Chain A
């Protein structure tokens, strides 16, 4: 297992001005995989990339590349290239020369450079832009130049720091597909940083969810979504109702004053747990037939589905359904055993997963901001 890891971070800690930014980080990155670091602003994603690129040395811990410790190896000697968040294209060079930069540093012969640059520009759909001044390019085009410039050097690992954050939604979707295509075509390991969970889920082979300088969970997008390890991950990835519960015994959990069947086992008897139920996994049924009973407090139509908030004994649940309901309807909720996911209590318990303070407007605004 160890062997196929191209990059390994072992027990890495980094502090700036006494503030712990990365805390005992351990991560193995497999050769040729598309791995995404996902987490809120300030959680240490960029710092992690800078460690791998060689712009920063850890306070303690090792950075390992192809089995060799590379602490102290300067950035220009590492077989890693970076796509910077704001592209960092050279303003004094045209498109051709930007892409040729790394090749010229390596002193390749002119005809080889020309061939390589032409190939790269066609790979990112920028043939014919060779002579253009980079200031005259659109954001999306600059992004492509940055990609071409980085991969022209045949890095073994490409680091991408929120490369799509500055693009508009449509362009971003297109670039997501293109990046994925390029990654598969060239067979390069991509370490991708984003704070957009949807982007992380659609693009990655594995997702690393980070918060406060610690890795909260590593797994495939499906794992992360279906089996979140704690309340932070459950809340950060998609929408979740997270309620306090008690494991009565294997496959039996109690929450909201009711007993439910579930698929989880291996907890001690009567252990306090966090229970996650995704909004799309809850069915609204007639009041009398519900496992839980409550009153609708808000309804929002989102096109594909309705987002309904139901008050159950003071805890507000979010439910996504295609059926229409009305405010003040008395409804029952039905939850299948496989819709219930049990998590151990963590420092994040009780912080997330209640929609009491939920307001569509605020959610809507923050969505726009993220676009």
Chain B
């Protein structure tokens, strides 16, 4: 890959054009709005005024972190057992994990409203068996649940993918060298699955930290996440594009820093692909 031939460049060119239009240009537009005032003059005021949104940033990061940890704890064993099944069963479970991903996020999130609402499935059930209804919807727990539910396939798939590629002879070798089940996991399975874990964490944390519809639908309007803040300002009209862009810019820089740190963990091991 070091020396790119002309042929390679030719093949890559549609991709380069595509990325230029849909990634680079929007970034430049965002940067422009973030660094100008409403009449188009250069200013840093948008950025320096962001202290106000500290709380939204903090809550977003906290919720996303909790959701990521829960997702990892659920997905890791799941991916491990999946990789141990017969190939035919693996395919089936793979499909079951994939199917929800073909559905729109918004619809999937809505479905939780009908489950968690005060008159929803759970509370109706509780009432029917004579228990007091619970406050489920519009709580931080519901928001985190939504994040876990929406993004867990992005955790399962990369972990499953590295796990299923672990050569069985490596596991036998470790057993041969005296490892019991625990040592086999600690010294071989876990280190070899780490690239999948890292890409899973990234793929869950990034959309969680920037989400806005999950918190709106499942959190009521009580918890303003940073995504909600951005959406709120954009909805106020063109005068607020500058402040919204500035928040987006900071969020993006924060995410990039996270990605950078995560990639350091994977020490350039292959497999740590970020989407």
Contact = CB atoms under 8 A, between A and B. Distances in A.
Interface in A71-108: 74-76, 80-82, 84, 86, 88-92, 101-102, 104-106
B145 to A, nearest CB: 35
Contacts of A53: 172, 176
B135 interface: no
Contacts of A84: 169, 172-173
B10 interface: no
Interface string B179-201: 11001000110011000000000
B188 A90 contact: yes
A215 B179 CA distance: 33
A75 B191 contact: no
B239 interface: no
B169 A106 contact: no
A149 interface: yes
A126 B177 CA distance: 20
A75 B180 CA distance: 9
A82 B179 contact: no
A86 B170 CA distance: 10
A150 B177 CA distance: 7
The size class of the interface chain A forms with chain B is 20 to 34
B178 A106 contact: yes
Contact of B178 (A76, A89, A92): A76
Which of A55, A74, A150: most chain B Cβ within 10 A?
A55
Tell me whether chain B's interface is mostly helix, strand or loop, or mixed. Answer: helix
Interface string A49-86: 00001110000000000000000001110001110101
A74 B178 contact: no
A105 B187 contact: yes
Contact of A105 (B170, B178, B191, B192): B178
Nearest to B166: A91
B87 to A, nearest CB: 15
Contacts of B187: 101, 104-105
A120 B176 CA distance: 18
Interface string B238-256: 0000000000000000000
A105 B187 CA distance: 9
A153 B180 CA distance: 15
A127 to B, nearest CB: 22
Nearest to A152: B177
Nearest to B177: A102
B183 A81 contact: no
Contact of A81 (B169, B177, B192): B177
Contact of B183 (A75, A90, A105): A105
B183 A88 contact: no
Interface string A127-156: 000000000000000000000011001000
Contacts of B191: 92
Contacts of A74: 175, 180
B172 A55 contact: yes
Nearest to A86: B169
A81 B176 CA distance: 6
A101 B177 contact: yes
Contacts of B174: 90, 101, 105
B172 A88 contact: yes
B99 to A, nearest CB: 33
A367 B79 CA distance: 45
Nearest first, the 3 closest Cβ-Cβ pairs linking A and B are A102-B177, A88-B169, A88-B173
17 contacts: A76-B177, A76-B178, A82-B176, A86-B169, A88-B169, A88-B172, A89-B173, A90-B174, A91-B192, A92-B188, A92-B191, A102-B178, A105-B178, A105-B179, A106-B178, A149-B177, A150-B176
Given A53-B176, A76-B177, A105-B174, 18 more contacts: A74-B175, A74-B180, A75-B176, A76-B178, A81-B176, A82-B172, A82-B173, A82-B176, A86-B169, A90-B170, A90-B173, A91-B192, A92-B188, A92-B269, A101-B177, A102-B178, A105-B177, A153-B177
